[in-house]
Chain A
Amino acid sequence: MKNQRAPTVWSQFKWHIIFFVAVAFVIMVSDLFAQNGVRYIHQERSLYRNIVVTEDSNRRCMRFTITSRIGQNQSCRFLKNAQELVFPYAKMTLSSLLVQDNPERILIVGLGGGTLPDTYSSMFSEAEIIISEIDEAVFRVARDYFGFRETEKIKVDIGDARVYIKRAGLRGEKFDLVILDAFNGEYIPEHLMTVEFLEEVKMLLPDDGMVIANTFSTSRLYAAESNTYQSVFGEFFNIRMSGTGNRVIVASMQPLPDRNTLEDRAPGFKRRLTPFGMDVTRFPQYMSRNINWDTSQRILTDQYSPANLLNN
């Protein structure tokens, strides 16, 4: 009997296979090239995330990605004028100088591309700036691709900010300004949002100290977060601008100045802040003390902090 060869998978589905491989190839190639002229300068997988550095004709950005398409830019700098701030949230942060000026010791949680330390250091060259960054890879990328440098005055501590702040509090250290800008690609890490954490931050503040937190103005978490900050610091400034999903919280150990005082102070800062691409005289209108959230939302504690679940 003649042995008939069984049809192989290849011979049966040859054209299907070729078609799928071709489609996959086209998607991959278009993914690499067709993102509005965005070039990938560097990609790296760190212990905590994927870090991607992209560049278009205008600016260079650091992004923490989930997939190649999904992810948020954590930090961007203009190629022509690196000093000018790209993100509204950075300008909102800087506008807090209207509340409290001349910080001598600054703690920044979350390095990103090093925009905030560089900005504060160029304004206050004598200030000591410490940055707590969990991911050593972010530090390397900031140094290699964003021109960030450690100096006599600017130091980076690699480790978890909660641990750094707890230990600094025990050592009795004080910081005139604490900027909370830690993001993990999705949102702020849960243990950096609780009442207990904010109490630890408060311990670092002298009588005229100030804390600034970069957050999002998203739905359910917005109220929980606001109530948490209010329970620790009392009244705070909420800085929000149209066209950005960011909300910057400014809380002070001193009573907050009123709108007129902010407006009176603004012209004095205008010239100093213009190089960063902002007109600070426009900012008092964005700074509100109104409670525009649901005050019944449960505050976040170490015992109850499902922040990222609430955020969804």
Chain B
Amino acid sequence: MPKGLQTILVMILAFIAGFIIMSIELLGGRILAPYFGSSIYVWGSVITVFMLSLSVGYLTGGKLSLHKPNLVTYGTFFGGAAVLLTPLILWANPIMETLFLQIEDPRYGSLVVSMILFFIPTSILGMIAPYSVRLLVQSTHGSGHVAGKLYFISTLGSAVGTLATSFYLVLWFEVNQILITMFVALVAAGCAAILTGKKFQVETG
């Protein structure tokens, strides 16, 4: 498959992943507030869980990139993240209600809820970054350059996602409408990667 096409596709998808990670993180504080308040520890819980799940995601994504890295696997990360985002959209309230009743201390209540709602989808989203690097790296010499470009594009996505969500999206849409849009975007991104991967697999294979 043409390298230029793959580079552009991976860059766009890395941008989308960065956008969605930070957008969910911001909405996380909003989702938890009705049950655990908006005190500093609620943000502490949300940020802790995101950092933790990203670190696990980086590790796993890097490991998976060792075995025949390809666009189809890459696409399933997006699809998987979309599927694992559905509990947050469908069952956030009953989950929070149950834990609110179980755990008196809002610090640990918010931490446990964050783990349940955000840990798995964010871990999957974290796998995208190292896997992207592997897909684009062609030589040891250029690996730093490729990694730098990918950090740049995905962190730029995170910045845009943070700004868009906090300045505008919450003003225009409901929290769940934003999450459903992200679900659709992840599915679309996954399909794009898988279809492109399959097409060139068939042509070259």
Chain A interface (Cβ within 8 Å of chain B)? 47-48, 134, 159-163, 166, 170, 189-191, 194, 196-197, 301-306, 309-310
Contact = CB atoms under 8 A, between A and B. Distances in A.
A160 B171 contact: no
Contact of A160 (B30, B38, B167): B38
Contacts of A159: 37, 39, 106
Interface in B84-112: 100-101, 106
Given A163-B106, A301-B174, A191 B101 contact: no
Nearest to A170: B101
B170 A306 contact: yes
Given A302-B34, A303-B176, A160 B39 contact: yes
Contact of B175 (A161, A303, A309): A303
B59 interface: no
A299 to B, nearest CB: 12
Given A162-B37, A163-B106, A191-B33, A306 B171 contact: yes
Contacts of B174: 301, 303-304
Contacts of B37: 134, 159-163, 191
Nearest to A134: B39
Contacts of B35: 162-163, 166
Interface in B135-192: 167, 170-171, 173-176
A48 B43 CA distance: 12
A50 to B, nearest CB: 15
13 contacts: A134-B39, A159-B106, A160-B36, A160-B37, A160-B106, A161-B37, A162-B35, A162-B38, A191-B33, A197-B34, A302-B175, A304-B174, A309-B170
A127 B34 CA distance: 29
Contacts of B170: 304-306, 309
Of the listed residues B38, B40, B101, B173, the one surrounded by the most CB atoms of chain A closer than 10 A to its CB is B38
Contacts of B176: 303
B38 A194 contact: no
A113 to B, nearest CB: 21
A309 B173 CA distance: 13
Interface of B: 30, 33-40, 100-101, 106, 167, 170-171, 173-176
Of the listed residues A170, A301, A305, the one surrounded by the most CB atoms of chain B closer than 10 A to its CB is A305
A252 to B, nearest CB: 25
Nearest to B170: A306
A197 B101 CA distance: 17
A194 B40 contact: no
Contact of A47 (B33, B36, B40): B40
Contacts of A306: 170-171
Contacts of B171: 306, 309-310
Contacts of B101: 170
Contacts of A160: 36-39, 106
B72 to A, nearest CB: 36
User: What 6 A-B pairs are tightest by C-beta distance, nearest first?
Assistant: A160-B37, A303-B174, A191-B33, A306-B171, A304-B174, A306-B170
A48 B37 CA distance: 13
A163 B36 contact: yes
B90 to A, nearest CB: 14
Nearest to B172: A306
B100 to A, nearest CB: 7
Nearest to A194: B34
Contact of B34 (A134, A162, A304): A162
A306 B101 CA distance: 27
A120 B33 CA distance: 30
Contacts of A161: 37
